[in-house]
Amino acid sequence: MGQDLWQQSPRVKEIFQAASDFTGIDVGELLFRGSEEDLRSTDRAQIAITTVNLAASAYLKERGVSCDGAAGHSLGEYAALFEAGVIGMEALFSLVKSRGEVMAEASNALHGEAGPAGMAAVLGLEYERVAELCRTRLPGVYVANHNSPTQIVLSGTAEGLAAAEAACKEAGAKRIIPLKVSGPFHSPLIEAAREAFARVISGYPFADPRCPVYSNVTGKVIASGEEARELCVRQIVSTVMWVEDERAILADGFERCIEVGPGKVLTGLWKSVGDAVKCHPAGTVEQVEELLGGSAP
C-alpha cells in the first residue's frame, strides 16, 4: 500500500519520512512489509492509512491537481484538516498516533466472555429505523456510521451486536455483516478514549480553515480552528454523519470529488446520492494517471 507512490515521488518519500519521525514507527516497513495483523491493529492502521492519504494527495498536486474543499470519513477527516491548513504535518501524525492508541486501549478494555466489542454493517434499512431500534430495543448498541441511505454501521458489545443482528433482520434488513475492526468505534462505549484524547489534543495548535472542510459530527462546514479541535474530540464517540457531509457538499455546489488514499469505499458511497457529483478513486499512481487521462481536470 502506497509503494507505487513512494517510488514515483520525492515528495511522497518526504511524507513517509515525516510520518516515521513524528510517530517513531518505520512507516515504509509497516506499509511495504508489515503483516495483516500489524496493519489491522488500530494504532498502526491509522498511521498507515493517513500516510497513504497524504501521499496520494501530494502526488496529485505534483500532477497539477489541488482541492477547493476537503472532507474525510472518520480517520480521513484528519487528512482533510491538514489539506485545509487547520493542522500541520507534525500535529497530524502525532494526533493520529495518539488517537489510535487511546482507541485501542479503550476497545481492549471492553472484551467480555462473549467476545470482543466491535462493529457490524446493516444493509437495507434506513438510518432512522436503525437508530430507533438502538434507542428502544438494543441497549449498548449505537449507530456508528451513516454511510449511505441504506448502509448503516453499528458499534456494540459482542452480546449487543448479536441481538442487533436478530432485531435488524426482523425489521427487514437485507444483510448484517460483521466488520474486521478492533473495537466499537464512534460510540459512547469508548468514552475513555474521548477523555484521554481531549487531554492530548489541547496541546496542539489549530488554525482556521483556508477552504471549506466538512465535519463528520455535524455534517456542516467547520467554522474555526477551535471548533475543529472540539469536533475531533467529539468524533471519537459520535456517529459519522457521512450522508449529511455529502448533502452539504452537494448544496455548496461541488461537482467533482477525488478520493485520495487506499481503496474505493467513498467512491462507492457517493454513487448512492446519484450523478450530481462524480467521485474518482486516486489512491494509486495508476488511478491518478487514469484520472488525468480522462475527462477530469
Q: Catalytic amino acids?
A: 74, 186
How far is Cα 138 from Cα 164, in angstroms, rounded to an integer?
7
Question: Which amino acid type is present at position 136?
Answer: T
How far is Cα 206 from Cα 233, in angstroms, rounded to an integer?
13
How far is Cα 36 from Cα 103, in angstroms, rounded to an integer?
19
How far is Cα 227 from Cα 244, in angstroms, rounded to an integer?
18
Query: Residues for the chain: how many in total?
Result: 297
How far is Cα 40 from Cα 294, in angstroms, rounded to an integer?
34
CA dihedral angle for residue 125, residue 217, residue 282, residue 268, rounded to 10 degrees: 10
Q: Determine how many CB atoms are found less than 10 A away from the CB of residue 250.
A: 15
